[in-house]
Amino acid sequence: MPAHRPTLATDLDTLLRSTADRRRMLHWLMASAATPLAACGGGAEVSIGGVGTSTGSSEGSSTVSSCSIIPEETAGPYPGDGSNYNSNGIANALSLSGIVRSDIRNSVAGASGTAAGIPLTLTLQLVNTAGSCANLAGYAIYLWHCTRDGLYSMYSTGVTAENFLRGVQQTDSNGKVTFLTIFPGCYAGRMPHMHFEVYPSLASATGAANKVKTSQIAFPTATCNEVYATSGYGNSAANLSAISFASDNVFSDGTELQMASISGTTSNGYSASLVVGIAS
């Protein structure tokens, strides 16, 4: 059978949500309320993913001072959330034993593969745009993305029996989840990205019918260039040189609310974060 490798055409076929006009208005409103970056320190205000954030004095706690709804985006053709099929039938990673986990580099439920790549620790903070940006505890976030070779577990030839780089977590009292994964590769026609879905509870995170938000995470081009200059990332450097945020079919209307803040090195790995606003 032909390889199920992600392409621009397949992503375009599933790009069914969000209009450019709505996104442009959202970004204009966000720009008008933008808060400048302040010096680091206890209680300092910083900018994370285009959203003003006031960090508390205790490690891991934070409150958000301003927030906007993250754009709704396509789940793409490889969601593994029970909404479509792979070569074995309905593809639903959410039904797998062990899918609720922080480290998503290994497969679960009897599969034994491990996704190689530069380590990336990703923290997402879920906040309520309809409630003074309050942290949303007890929700569930399902994250998935491609390998360093641009393949999606459960779908792409060679990894159909694997389910790595997919995982679910419940938000803590600060509205946060943290995933340990790898930096994703860049396949032809798309900027590097990750997908995620938000569910109102862990118990409801069983299939796409229960999700309340679908979006994508973008990464700074400079960091992508650093990663793709290392060995192991195949054609990612060449694919990245042929695409830009301006020509990407998802991010072309702006990334202010979807761009992860990131730090680290190729030798030590990276840490990234993003505030995710939803109306609840």
Question: In the structure, what pLDDT confidence band is assigned to residue 8 with cuts at 50, 70 and 90?
Answer: very low
Please say whether the beta carbons of 225 and 233 come within 8 A. no
Higher pLDDT, 32 or 183: 183
The conformational region for residue 92 under phi > 0 = left, psi -120 to 50 = alpha, else beta, is beta
CA distance 71 to 24: 10
Please say whether the beta carbons of 64 and 133 come within 8 A. yes
Please say whether the beta carbons of 97 and 249 come within 8 A. no
Q: Please name the residue that has the structure tokens 């030798």.
A: 267
Please say whether the beta carbons of 125 and 257 come within 8 A. no
Higher pLDDT, 71 or 11: 71
Closest CA to 67 of 237, 260, 257: 257
Q: What is the residue-averaged pLDDT of the chain? A: 85
In whole angstroms, what separates CA 252 from the centre of its chain? 17
pLDDT in tens, 136-156: 999 999 999 999 999 999 999
Question: In the structure, what pLDDT confidence band is assigned to residue 6 with cuts at 50, 70 and 90?
Answer: low
CA distance 245 to 250: 8
Query: For residue 148, which amino acid is it?
Result: R
